[in-house]
Structures are given as C-alpha cells and as structure tokens.
Structure 1
Amino acid sequence: MPESVLPATARALLARTARVQRDGRAPSLVAGVVRDGGLAWSAGRGDVAGPHTDVQYRLGSISKTVTAVAVLRLRDEGRLHLDDPLDRHVPGTPLGDRSVGQLLSHLAGASAESPGGWWERVPGGSLEDLALGGEDVVLGEARRFHYSNLGFGLLGELVARLRGRSWDDVVTGEVLLPLGMTRTTPRPSGRAAQGYAVHPWADVVLAEPEHHAGVMAAAGQLWATLADLARFAAFLLGDTGDVLDPGTLEEMAVPAGVDPSSPAWSAYGLGLQVLRVDGRTLTGHGGSMPGFLAGVLVDREEGTGGVSLANTTSGLDPGLVPGLLADLRAAEPRVAEPWRPSPPPVPLDQLGVWYWGPAPSLLRAVAGGLLHLGPLPGRPGRASRFRGRDDGTWVGLDGYYAGEVLRIAPDHLDLGTFVLTREPYDPDAPVPGGVDERGWTSPDS
C-alpha cells in the first residue's frame, strides 16, 4: 500500500481540485495522485454518485492507450511489425498503404473523425458501415502529426481481426483484467456518473447521450473508476506485470518527430502523449467524450502519477493533473536512491574526454550499465545514452543519437560516420578527410 501524503500536502491537493471543480463548473470531479503502486491521495468534489474512488466515468481517448497496448502485444508476439502497411491486416481501406506505427503515432494522415454522423454522439456500427473513401485521407504519410480518432478505430479493427474476437473482449481479457482493472468496462456498469453539458451562461446542465461506438470504440469507449485509473497510472510508471514488456512501455513513450532536448514541447509516442512541462517529462493521455473529461499523466523520473475524472463536456482546467504532480513534487519530493560504486561497462581508459573536431565531449559510465556521451558540464551540445550490444557495439537510446551505433576503438570513437579522437583532429586517427599536415598554426604563420 502506498504511504498517504502528509496533511499539508493533502490540503494543497484538495484546494487545487476544489478550485478546478468550482471554476470549471463540473457537476462532479474526482482526482488523485499515485505513488508506490497506488493512490496516495484522492478526493471527490461536487455531486459524486457514491464512494469517489468507485464511480465510473468515461475515459474517452485514454482508451487509445489501452488499444495501443493491445497492438504492441501483437507486435511483441511477432504477429505484426510496426512498419506493416494496414492493408496487410485490414485490407480494403483508403489508408491501406499507411503503416501500423504511423497510425499509432497519428502520422498516417488519416482524417480526425470517421465519416457519417459524429461518432461520439451516435451509435456505431462495423467498419463496412463507415463506407470509407478518399476524403478520409487528408495528408500524406509521415508529413505531420494529425490527431486521428479514425486511425485508432482502424487499429481496434486490426486487433479484433488478428485475435479473432471483438476489441471489447481483447482489451478486457489481455489488458484490463490482468492489471486488476475490474471496474473498467466498455459500457457503464454499477455506480456510474451521468454525463452532462453545462450551459455557458447559466448554471444548468443537459444530459449527454451514451452508446457503444462500434468500430470506433477503440478510440474512446472505456469507462473506469478513479481506483482503476490509478492502477493504469501505476502501469505507466512501470508496474506492467505480464501485460507488456517494460522495454515496450519505454518505446511507447518515445516522442515522434520532436527534439526532446528542447525546453518545452508536446508530442505523441505510440498511443501515449508525451509532454514537457516545467522541466519535467510527463507521459499519459487525456480523454473527452460528450459529458466527460479525463486525464492520466505520470512522471516516471519522480515515480508519481496524477489522475482525474469529471462528468462535464468542456470547461475544466487542463492543468489540473500536471498541477497536482507539481504540488506533490514541491511538498514531498522524491528521495533519490543512494549512490553506490559499480564497475564500468568498458575499461576506464576508454572513458573521459573525446573530441569531435575541436569540440570536446565526455564519455562516462552511468547507472544501469549504460554509457553517456555529451558535452562537458556547462557547455551546450548533443547528448545521448547508449546500451551495449552482444557484438561489442553500443546503440543510442535517446537524444540526437537515438538508434545510432557507437563503436569504440583504442584511438577513436565511430558514431554515425562522426569520428571522435583523444586530441582535436588527431593526425594518427582515421579522421574523415584527413588532417592538414601542417597541423595547428596561427593564422599569420
């Protein structure tokens, strides 16, 4: 069981939640923070229809992350590859040449919504009922990020066809129940909130419709309690159990098409939103459906998560969950694990300063048997971590050199055709283009 937050922390968290519920005029709002695998604090505000941790609300697009987990389980089993064209598994759509990975990261150029009536407010049918056409392809593949509910509807169809049973059954049996999310269901079950729209100019509400979205369910169908959403936050923090390989979860959180060294950005991985907020990298997903708003974000470095559920169509401050995490971090910062000596993964004489041309870089051993290549302290420059491979080479895990191969020789480093030497432009090392035989001189010599 997680240790409860301190009373002063609980007061700050409650105060933020109460302000957001009041200012956003949400009929009800439940929120919590997660650490050590469970809810360390939670509260409900407004007219909550029962114990605040056990009332279902719609998750909306958080369902996409659950769908992505189901897709990546198929990939890990060898049933598909992220580079596979959709047509290989779901033939006959106008997006057949777009890859599974592009659909997961919203880079396939699929239209934002499915054709026909607004799928969030009308009952859905089969893929054939959508009658997809050329207008559902709005951009070239990999041209730019374009959020697509339709894309995830197609991924749900892919999951159903490869598993031979409905998307509902697959995600329930392979993701939700193994994680202990027994109160997460495709339709409301037991205690559940009514979804409302709140009038913009008066304090009155209008009930929103609810139905099964058919083939579009994979984009936003699920309902969950706060307790279950907290369990999903623990999953995103690394408590994956037998549902997903931890390495695959890390892969989901790699932002596509964004330089993560920038101070502030918002991106998308494989079914996960990745945000840079106040110097922290947060991963998770937001969700909305008519009558409901939801959010789950985790700070993997801090080991904490935030969750929220509300029964209102719009108007809630999107900064609630990041704010809860900031409050918790400020009041009860994580105490780092103690440093302990450990053997380096390479000989000591291979570590230290290397030069790319005249620019120094520092190669050092870091925790987990990894290497880190980056600028000297206080200097700007590119930085990446590297993991060793069986053939003696090292592969970049993040930063500029993600996916690139590092080879270490006694007199140089070879990194993506860049050669780093022990001295600036060492004439005895294989510097591309050679080194001027005159060596280093003054301009007027």
Structure 2
Amino acid sequence: MAVAQAEGRAPSVVAAVARDGEIVWEGSATSVDGHGPDGDVQYRIGSITKTFTAVLVLRLRDEGLLDLGDPIGKHLPDTGVDEVTVGQLLAHTAGLAAETPGGWWERTPASERPELADVLGEDPYRHPVGRRHHYSNPGYTLLGSLVAKLRGAPWEDVLRREILEPLGLTRTSPQPEAPYAGGWAVHPWADALLPEQVEDLGLMAPAGQLWSTTRDLARFALFLAQGDERVLSAETVQEMRTPAAPLEEGDWDASYGLGVQVFRREGGSLAGHGGSLPGYLACLLFSADDGLAAVALTNCTSGPLMGALAGELLHLVAEAEPRFPEPWRPLPEVDPRVLELAGPWYWGTHAFGLRVLADGIELGPLEGRGRSARFRAEEDGTWTGLNGYYAGESLRPVRRADGALSHLDLGSFVFTREPYEAGAPVPGGVDPEGWRGLKPQGE
C-alpha cells in the first residue's frame, strides 16, 4: 500500500482485507504527516455503485416483479431502447453507448440531463443488441429508473431501505458524510494538486453516485460472497458473479456477470468491481472460495492502480496464509436410498463415480477431465445439477418394479452399473451377444 501511494503520487490510500467476514488488516498511507485516514473515512466509489443497483434489480426478479428476459420497454416504455432486456443491461450487452451525449456527465451538472431521453440521446446504440460486451453507464441509469418505477420510490430511498439498513452499511451514502476525503487531481508533470469538483449525478446516480468506506465495502463483499436472506440468497449472489457477457478478444481472463466483474486466476476466480470519478479511484475484490476480500480507495483522479493493489493484497494473504480446509465430518444420518446411488456408474464406456456428500451428491469422471457436477435433492426424489454441463439438468434414479435401483437418467443420458449393461434401457439397445473378442482374419 505504501508503494502504491508513493509511486501513484496519491494524497492518500486506504485499504482493508477481510477474511471469513472479519476485517483482519487495515491501514493507510498519506501525504499529510500525522494524519492517516482509517476504515471509517468515506471516499467516492464510482462504479462500484452499479453492483448495489444490480442487487436491487435482482431483488425485483426474485420477488417475481420482473424477469431478466423482459424487454425494458415492458416496465419503462418509450425510452427509445424498448427492445433491450433487463439481463442485457445488467451484463452490459445491450449495445448501448458507454457515455451520455453532451458534456462529460461526471463533471457537468445533473440539470443538463433531466430526463432519460437526455441520458440516452437520439442515437443510443453502438452495437447490435446482445452481441458483445460494451460497458454502458446510461444502461445502469435505466436500471435505476426501473427500480424507482417498480418500487414507487426514489432509487436512493430504495437503496437505503433494501440494502444499506439490512446489511448495516451505516457509512455508505449518496452524499458525503463526514469524515470524508476530498478529491484531488495530481499534476502529471509536477508534484502539485488541484481540487476536483463534486457533482450530484442526478439520473446517473445508479451508475456511480455512492460514497463509502473500506469497512462498509468489506461487509458488502461478504454479502456478495455468501448472500444474506434479508437481501439476496446465496444462490442469487452466485448468479451475479457468474459470467454473463461474451468475452472480448484478447481479454480472456476477465468477464462480466450481473453487476459484477469476474476475473479468472489460477485455481479459481475473483469477483468485484472497480470505480472512478473525478478525484477518486476505488476497487473491491473478493474470492468466495478463499473467504477473502480486499478493498482499496484513494482520493485522486489518476495514479495508483486500485485493482492491482486489491488483487495483490488478496494474493499475499492467500499465498502466505492459505485457508485451512473445513474438517471432514461424517453425515449425521444416512438415507439408504441415497447411499444406494454411491459408487461407479457408466455412461456408455465412460466410467463415472458418484459420491454422497453432506449437501448433495457429486458425479464426475473417474479419469481425466470431463462432465462433473454437483446436484441438490428435490422433494420428488430427483436431483438438480448445480454447475458445469449439467447445471439445471435433472438426474432421476430409475427403479425396477421390485424397487431395486436400475439406472440413472440424466437429461436422457442413461448411466448403468456396468458398461452397456444387458437388460438396461440403453438408447439404441445392447447387442444380445454381449461383449466379445476379435477373431483373427480367416476364422
């Protein structure tokens, strides 16, 4: 962090690392002797605001008030982009322009954009709808207006009621609340400063308005990793950090989910979001697998690479203090009909193994890489795939008339206890003469 502040020529840098929901380290580096911001000092977080807006939209979806496949015109008619879907707006695949018409919206008064038509302009598209990832700030303005329309209240009020208060984010707000850091521009060729102006973003607020602290954002990162039933379920926050946008050529290690940036790394992935507004840079990153989160904030327009700093903080902890695995524990009780599923199965000649776990079952190839997935139990005795090729697919144990287990039906694939087992309903049938050798020629 000290290197980031010194080499980035930043008035101040503040950062924090959280592990399993607790802040385990925080610190700051500053240009003012005797004054170091702590985890309670607000900085503007820019586009990290988009992740908060995405949470509000997904709450509407989970309540059944909209579908991600809904065209935005179904809920916000006559915007000029009625055909784009809610899901495309969340993933920045709607083809909309990156910025608004007119002056740079981050440094001009909101009064210049009083209506959605002023945000979108007469030519809102830059790409065919749904074909590529193209980051769009106006797209998130539409989503904020969608939230306000369906909730019947301003975006800021819905945000406070549905996210900030339930999660205890008392130092996150649309307007700065003391103590907060003032924003600066640092001269590129001289060690001199210029104060940056602060604009209220108006309709653009859902794309970048918020102020927050490292402590609040670390708490928010825990929510994004684990979910909180008061806000969104664990299943929905996992959906948020699942890539939903096409990869850009040459950028195979980064993608975008639903309001969350996703980064591949060796052995896993990171998720989070960066942010910038004149006078401020911010980044929040977390690893759900490692239970780690890092937040880095600074009060200058350009300088330290906040994403690199947050990523390095995570890397240092993960490498130097790897997470202890949870102790293995046997199941408290075993259902005999589930235990009967365990063991080897064959899809054609491909050998698979099925394991019974505390939270479901896992089916995967016995050798090499292949179609592996976990499944959760359903009340009707079937199992639903949770990941990989079989995500959302149904696995059905099929029994004979006498109740004995016959085979597994997984999305029309038949898994048998023996390869091409005689008498099993293998599609296409099994040769009645069974397995045989290959006779030498002439015999």
TM-score, scaled to structure 1: 0.88
Q: State whether structure 2 residue 377 is matched by structure 1 residue 382.
A: no
The alpha-carbon distance between structure 1 residues 231 and 281, as it changes in their structure 2 partners (threshold 3 A), is same
Q: Assess if the C-alpha contact under 8 Å between 1:83 and 1:100 holds in 2.
A: yes
- 2: distance between equivalents of 1:307 and 1:51? 14
Percentage identity across paired residues of the two chains: 52
Specify the SS of the correspondent of 1:135: coil
Whole-Å Cα distance in 1 between the matches of residues 10 and 136 of structure 2?
27
Q: Which moved more, 1:322-331 or 1:200-209?
A: 200-209
Distance 1:443 1:102, change over 3 A: farther
CA distance in 2, matches of 1:143, 1:44: 42
Distance 1:328 1:398, change over 3 A: same
**CA distance, structure 1, for counterparts of residue 102 and residue 67 of structure 2:** 31
Instruction: Name the amino acid aligned to 1:412.
Output: H
Aligned length: 423
Residue 402 of structure 2 aligns with which residue?
Answer: none
- Identify if the C-alpha distance between structure 1 residues 137 and 427 changes in structure 2 by more than 3 Å, giving closer, same or farther: farther
Structure 2 segments unaligned to the other structure (5+ residues): 399-404
Mark the CA change 1:303 to 1:128 in structure 2 (over 3 Å): closer, same or farther.
closer
Which one of the candidate residues 200, 210, 213 is aligned to 1:212? 200
* 2:153 corresponds to 1:201: no
The equivalent residue for 2:430 is 435
Deviation, 1:439, is: 4.2
Question: Does the 8 Å CA contact 2:116/2:203 hold for their aligned counterparts?
Answer: no
> Which secondary structure state, in structure 1, belongs to the residue aligned with residue 351 of structure 2?
strand
How far off is 1:386 after superposition? 1.0
Q: In structure 2, the residue corresponding to 1:231 is in which secondary structure?
A: helix
Q: Equivalent residue of 2:103, what SS?
A: coil
Structure number with bigger Rg: 2
Where does residue 142 of structure 1 map in the other structure? 130
Q: CA deviation at 1:36?
A: 4.0
- 1:112-123 equivalences under 5 Å are 112-123=98-109
Q: Distance in 2 between matches of 1:442 and 1:137?
A: 64
Shift of 1:211: 0.7
The separation in 1 between residues aligned to 2:196 and 2:429, in whole angstroms, is 71
Q: Which amino acid aligns with 1:387?
A: R
TM alignment of 1:79-228, pairs within 5 A: 79-124=65-110, 125-130=113-118, 132-133=120-121, 135-228=123-216
For residue 77 of structure 1, report the CA deviation from its aligned partner.
2.2
Match of 1:352 among 338, 343, 347: 343
- SS of 2:169 mapped into structure 1: coil
Q: Does the 8 Å contact 2:28/2:36 carry over to 1?
A: no
Q: Is the 8 A contact 2:225 2:237 kept in 1?
A: no
Q: 1:279-428 maps to which residues of 2 (within 5 A)?
A: 279-317=267-305, 318-342=307-331, 343=333, 346-368=337-359, 370-376=360-366, 379-409=368-398, 410-428=405-423
CA contact (8 A) 2:116 2:142 kept: no
1:4-34 CA-to-partner distances (Å, cap 9, x unmatched) read: xxxxxxxxxxxxx111222222221100101
- Give the AA of the match of 2:154: S
> Structure 1: how far apart are the matches of 2:341 and 2:245?
33
1:249 aligns with 2:244: no
TM-score, scaled relative to structure 2: 0.88
Aligned to 1:42, the other structure's residue is in SS state: strand
SS at match of 1:177: helix
Superposition pairs for residues 29-48 of structure 1, below 5 Å?
A: 29-47=13-31
CA distance in 2, matches of 1:210, 1:443: 81
Are residues 34 and 239 of structure 1, via their aligned partners in 2, closer, same or farther at CA, if it must alter by over 3 Å?
Answer: farther
- The CA distance in 1 between the partners of 2:278 and 2:334, in whole Å, is 54
Please say if residues 251 and 270 of structure 1, whose CA atoms lie closer than 8 Å, have aligned partners that are also in contact.
Answer: yes
Aligned residue number for residue 27 of structure 1? 11
Q: CA deviation at 1:257?
A: 5.2
SS at match of 1:120: helix
- Mapped partners of 1:390, 1:222: distance in 2: 43
Map of 2:59 onto structure 1 = 73
Deviation string 1:117-151 (CA, Å, 9 cap, x unpaired) is 22222222333451635631223333222222121
The 8 Å contact of residues 292 and 310 in structure 1, kept in 2 or not, is answered as: yes
Structure 2: distance between partners of 1:63 and 1:171: 10
Contact 2:227 2:237 in 1 (8 A): no
Distance 1:258 1:405 in 2: 27
Unaligned runs of 5+ in 1: 1-16
**Distance change in 2, residues 1:440/1:22 (3 Å):** farther
Deviation digits for residues 211-267 of structure 1 (CA, Å, limit 9, x no counterpart): 1111111111101122221221222232626222333222222222579xxxx7322
Q: Which amino acid aligns with 1:253?
A: R
Residue 433 to residue 187, structure 1, CA distance change in 2 (3 Å): same
Q: Deviations over 1:167-225 (max 9, x none)?
A: 11211222112222122111222122222233333333333332111111111110112
